[in-house]
Chains A and B, each alone.
Chain A
């Protein structure tokens, strides 16, 4: 370490310049596909827009708004209630149920969707909202659970001493203190709803994201589709702004050493069972309904020897998924970490703006991101200096790049949550002691944000394991991930044969959920 110190110090200034420009370049590369999509607005497809205006545009906007508001509200209620039960009550089976409550996150909506459809036979906005809430509430649950655990027990005690009932203390003190987590959870859920295509299509709900594909596939107007997709980017920008405003300037720093979290009240006997009943009922809905179909279907297909596809058996698909996920996680988390460190509070404003632009991919439906990436890649290949015969499209590199564009926002948010907690004076101290900015980033900041990096890796991993549209469009020959297998079965109307890959996706993603829960239990945070 000391041997490295001197050269690193001497390199300080050039490294700083290099680091800054590398971050800027990286941010620009990540932002390019989304910019390409939004740029399509410059020359609007007036024909398509007037057709939409006369037919479905209002329906799309209204059902998107209703669905987003409904799912966000329901997720907030369900997620927060579940987190409060687990954080503040010591009931029988608390540990297991606390873990299981996060598990629906591992089940992709396009898998649970067709099981719900098969069980209930009902379509429509309400069913779509139920299914989406059942798979998205864990975001709110995890965030608020972490917030409740982080809160100082003394705050609640103070409120109780001042005469608040337990319930009133929760309503007036605990919940308001968790506001940043609630806002962040709401934003995550809203983004997922806005960009969802698979679930709404199954339940016959025409949202803006679904409209993007009606215009692209039906009217054969890709530019019109991109224009409609930029409505979603606009909505996301508004949402992030509202979230910042809702949080206000408050930084919610709690002082006084390590906090023990809200004290859990021991409940046993009939009361304990009553408290445990809440999570159990929720799990029966969110996990029980899908599994009651998936397990027998998987059993039958395996028994009939159909648990494999054109490209091979379950192991081949599993390995393909692991390959894509591991590369995507590494690249996305490295990019997200670099952006988060460059955009820390007190750093250059330009860096924060860049981070904001580079993370808009999360607001754009996957296939639109993929098209943006293809356009960028085609442009690159068309440049004279690009070696002829070196096709980029259809390579693993382009797929990983596109996944990073789509999910860097998630990694950035998680690392930034850790980075915001690193006091600037620690960095200043390191600088005063003679380290250059590059060395400080590597030796001081990176170790301090490690919990955030772990959370980022888990969250991105869960998302990429379940990811279908980008992978479907950009995957190299012979790389057929588990969701691609699900798609091959469902697009052929064979839901039963999608059960084996669907369960494997859930199994793989639940590893990410376990890592996430462990990191959060150690005090990491999910979003900035």
Chain B
């Protein structure tokens, strides 16, 4: 009896425990308690963000709890949770993610003059549903052995036959590539963008799903030229590894930039706290938010940190970053058609 009894009793207790945990689960693992002074963030970007949130909490007394995840999944979660969502803020890397959240009705208007004053319009949603908080340039990288004068000055020039077998790219599955091609479509139309992408593909590129690995491939001779975000280069330099040189795009509309940004969830339990956090991140918090990841601040009045500034000034592609969202499916189809991995 005792053995079976134990087995059954054990099972009953465990199931009861699971049910209890399920009921209380919403607030488990969060020591701060009290939702009035707390903002909940769904976080698709996680570069040293906790120190930034700690600074916000120290200044305002509002606690921040967050969960990380892949952006499309976080949006799906927001969507199905609907009115019951615990999320106040959706914070994502890549403008396409923010714009897709906006189109799906997951974000509420910010209604903040603090934000509109601080951040230029081209880096915000025209419906006021989200704002950029930092800017990252995605540009050409050359191996140190490639002379600066010979480096490509446009994305199309990466299709030049001289880079055959010497080009490293991020696969089409990554949002960075998708948004870059979305920008190419916005600037040069589908046909122009497709010519550019087919040019890359004709060079038989090496596809690596990590910007850091791409930079290492430049250093070890696998590739001569590549496309990555500049902060990966600076991050490697800060760790003592000088892997490549950044080359700004001077032909055509300029260097493609993308953003990290945030919006208030439509069904935020604490919209006031959410607004407070986003306003703080767009002003006082700009410094730590952008600096932690070697990005440029979104606020026009805040200068980038020294290492970022040392890369030199460049001409930003002036296209409104919000357009990446609507163009993303088109960009993905184009990449598939062109045979980009």
Contact = CB atoms under 8 A, between A and B. Distances in A.
A394 to B, nearest CB: 6
A378 B23 contact: no
A479 interface: yes
A218 B209 contact: no
Contacts of B178: 218
Interface-central residue, B69, B82, B232, by most chain A CB under 10 Å: B69
Contacts of A478: 28-30, 65
Interface stretch (B10-18, B115-123, B154-162, B184-192): B10-18
B29 A479 contact: yes
A492 B47 contact: yes
Contacts of A202: 209
Nearest to A337: B11
Given A391-B85, A397-B19, A478-B30, A217 B4 contact: no
Interface-central residue, A326, A371, A493, by most chain B CB under 10 Å: A493
A395 B23 contact: yes
Contacts of A389: 84
A400 B222 CA distance: 45
Nearest to A376: B80
Interface residues of B, number: 62
Contacts of B213: 493
Given A213-B173, A473-B77, A397 B23 contact: yes
A213 to B, nearest CB: 7
A377 B80 contact: yes
Interface string B106-144: 000000000000000000000000000000000000000
Given A331-B15, A447-B4, A396 B76 contact: no
A219 B182 CA distance: 12
B245 interface: no
A424 B222 CA distance: 66
A1 B4 CA distance: 11
Nearest to A310: B50
Given A327-B18, A327-B21, A394-B25, A220 B100 contact: yes
Contact of B337 (A55, A210, A213): A55
Contacts of A378: 80-82
B298 to A, nearest CB: 21
A477 B336 contact: no
Per DSSP, chain B at the interface is: helix
Contact of A371 (B18, B22, B76): B76
Given A1-B1, A326-B14, A488-B68, A442 B8 contact: yes
Contact of A395 (B8, B26, B100, B333): B26
A152 B271 CA distance: 71
A528 interface: no
A393 interface: yes
A138 interface: no
B22 A400 contact: yes
Given A330-B14, A371-B76, A391-B86, A214 B173 contact: yes
Interface string A363-377: 000010011001101
B332 interface: yes
B22 A395 contact: yes
A332 to B, nearest CB: 11
Contacts of A1: 1
Contacts of A492: 46-47
Interface string B195-207: 0000000000001
A172 to B, nearest CB: 43
A231 B172 CA distance: 23
B72 A476 contact: no
B284 interface: no
B321 to A, nearest CB: 17
A473 B73 contact: yes
Contacts of B211: 493
A204 B205 CA distance: 13
Interface-central residue, A331, A391, A475, by most chain B CB under 10 Å: A391
Interface of B: 1, 3-4, 7-8, 11, 14-15, 17-19, 21-23, 25-30, 40, 46-47, 49-50, 65-70, 72-73, 76-77, 80-82, 84-86, 100, 171-173, 175, 178, 207, 209-213, 222, 232, 328-329, 332-333, 336-337, 341
Given A1-B1, A395-B23, 9 more contacts: A204-B171, A220-B328, A367-B73, A374-B76, A390-B23, A393-B77, A394-B67, A442-B4, A476-B26
13 contacts: A204-B207, A204-B209, A217-B175, A218-B172, A218-B329, A310-B49, A327-B18, A391-B26, A392-B22, A394-B26, A394-B86, A397-B22, A398-B22
